[in-house]
Amino acid sequence: MSQAAAGVTAVVVLAAGGGTRMKSRRSKLLHELCGRSMLSYAITAATSLEPDHLVVVVGHEREQVSEHLAEIAPYAVQAVQEPQLGTGHAVRVGLDALVELPSEVVVTYGDVPLLTGETLAGLVAEHRAAANAVTLLTSVVDVPTGYGRVVREHGQVSRVVEEKDASDEERDVREINSGIYVFDAETLRDGLAELRTDNAQGEMYLTDVIAHANRLGRTVGAHLIDDPWQTQGVNDRVQLASLSKELNRRILVRWMRDGVTVLDPETTWVADTVDLAEDVTLLPNTILRGATSVAQGATIGPDVMLTDVEVGEGAHLVKCHATLAVIGDGAEVGPFSYLRPGTRLGAKGKIGAFVEAKNAVIGDGAKVPHLTYCGDAEVGDGANIGAGTIFANYDGVTKSRTTVGKASFVGSNSVLVAPVTIADGAYVAAGSAVTEDVGPGELAIARSRQRNIEGWVASRRPGSKTQQAAEEAVRAEKGDQE
């Protein structure tokens, strides 16, 4: 934050609106963009000013909003607006929550997720440099429909005109009011005291404080920014999708400029909370969420979703889904793999096609290549788990753990019935159902001896296609012998 914007005494975040156009049982402000709630972006921008007081005005679905605020901003003062009588009334409620009157008040909104702290700092700096009583954050847009127009006289803001009240000439104005302000506290307090609800909407308009300041001859200015996205609010799910896409684009641009390759930004989604190193490559249809971190040189994708996953250097993941997992340096995962919470794959390890792992520690260089359920397990360094192996961890009451020692080999289509330990350097024969521990260097064979019953098809399946095929095979065999 610049020194010119330091020392803001109060920021009031308006977060009491109904959000009815979202058509949701959840508060509009709790809907997410790029992995974070709409409100959390507003709080981040507001707190970047390091205000002495942060007030959040809540109202609609305030139980949900208050609970969320307690998680992301427990230091914030909450003020309840009930009933909701407009933006002017909301700010009045917010100021009433403060014990002392601040010298400056920044007013912003909980539903403007692309607004940055740098922009708010610029607004405050310009407000102070011009010695304004009120400073508006404004932007120029191509289609200003629906926005209040900023009318200037001799460069100073004379008024803000709502579209329904604007003349044809005023409707042609493309500079719009964002509704975000810095106020001299005295001007704000006096202006709020004059607000009335005797209008068509029955609400107190914060824009009327601008008219109050002009009547008193106090300077009203504007901080014009060239990024209209920062002034856009979210009122419905269409706008939510639009701003999410733009925010994701900005996140990807930042990462690409920091040395990350994104092959197809249109199909790649990276949450604001994700951390990426240089020379990471993200292939199409990759989604990274939560506290996911990807180390240098790793390749993610295509078709990968990671949530709260740590990926090591040079690892390669393709067509997989992982949550709360750790993937070591140079490891390989996929395709069609599912890593559930508690999975830890060691350096140069492999989890392959159609493998599900849960609460499993798979050592360095160990391989679980295909068609396996590996749950509640510890697989030692260099071990190899054959295709179709099942770690039978649940007996209907208790989940138990299986240990496979280092450099051991489990043959295909085996069942390891937990709790059981296969020691270092042991073998399990294919098709075994292992229920007892296997010692170092031992071969476990847990299957019955094969028996072939002659004539079984003829006696049990007479007249069937199988019998016909068997008879033809016997005749052919006899013919070959003759």
Q: What is the pLDDT of residue 90?
A: 95
CB 330 within 8 A of CB 312: yes
Reduced to 3 states, what is the DSSP secondary structure of residue 117?
helix
- Rounded to the nearest 10 degrees, what angle do helices 38-47 and 117-129 cross at? 40
CB atoms within 10 A of CB 87: 24
Residues 6+ apart with CB under 8 A from 25: none
- Summarize pLDDT for 398-419 with one digit per residue, the tens: 999 999 999 999 999 999 999 9
Under the banding of pLDDT at 50, 70 and 90, the label for residue 340 is very high
Distance, in Å, from the CA atom of 65 to the CA atom of 59, rounded to the nearest integer, reads 9
For this structure, is 370 an active site residue? yes
Catalytic site residue from 31, 68, 89, 370: 370
Under the banding of pLDDT at 50, 70 and 90, the label for residue 6 is low
For the residues 9-20, what does the mean pLDDT come to?
92
Q: What is the pLDDT of residue 156?
A: 84
Under the banding of pLDDT at 50, 70 and 90, the label for residue 99 is confident
Q: What is the pLDDT of residue 2?
A: 56
Query: In percent, how much of the chain has pLDDT > 70?
Result: 98
**DSSP secondary-structure letter at 349?**
-
Distance, in Å, from the CA atom of 150 to the CA atom of 222, rounded to the nearest integer, reads 9
Q: What is the pLDDT of residue 159?
A: 87
- pLDDT surpassing 90 at residue 43: yes
Structure tokens of 7? 């020392």
- pLDDT surpassing 90 at residue 453: yes
For the residues 437-458, what does the mean pLDDT come to?
94
CB 303 within 8 A of CB 287: no
Distance, in Å, from the CA atom of 298 to the CA atom of 332, rounded to the nearest integer, reads 10
Distance, in Å, from the CA atom of 126 to the CA atom of 5, rounded to the nearest integer, reads 9
Q: What is the pLDDT of residue 276?
A: 98
Q: E strands, 380-423, where?
A: 384-385, 390-392, 402-404, 409-410, 415-417, 420-422
- pLDDT surpassing 60 at residue 126: yes
For the residues 263-291, what does the mean pLDDT come to?
98
Distance, in Å, from the CA atom of 431 to the CA atom of 444, rounded to the nearest integer, reads 11
Residue indicated by tokens 């209040």: 148
Distance, in Å, from the CA atom of 308 to the CA atom of 207, rounded to the nearest integer, reads 44
Distance, in Å, from the CA atom of 383 to the CA atom of 391, rounded to the nearest integer, reads 15
Higher pLDDT, 110 or 147: 110
Hey, what amino acid is at 463?
G
Query: In percent, how much of the chain has pLDDT > 90?
Result: 84
pTM of the predicted model as reported, rounded to 2 decimal places: 0.90
For the residues 332-357, what does the mean pLDDT come to?
98
- Write down the mean pLDDT value for the chain: 94
Q: What domains are there in the chain, each with its CATH number?
A: 3-231 (3.90.550.10), 319-444 (2.160.10.10)
349, with CB counted inside 10 A (0-12, 13-18, 19+), is buried
Distance, in Å, from the CA atom of 166 to the CA atom of 136, rounded to the nearest integer, reads 19
CB 233 within 8 A of CB 87: no
For the residues 439-459, what does the mean pLDDT come to?
94
Please name every residue paired with 293 in a beta bridge, in sequence order, or none if there are none.
Answer: 275, 310
Closest CA to 428 of 381, 465, 480, 391: 391
For the residues 113-121, what does the mean pLDDT come to?
97
Under the banding of pLDDT at 50, 70 and 90, the label for residue 4 is low
Reduced to 3 states, what is the DSSP secondary structure of residue 215?
helix
- Summarize pLDDT for 280-289 with one digit per residue, the tens: 999 999 999 9
Under the banding of pLDDT at 50, 70 and 90, the label for residue 5 is low
Q: Which H or E run includes 288? A: strand 286-289
Structure tokens of 341? 């919470």
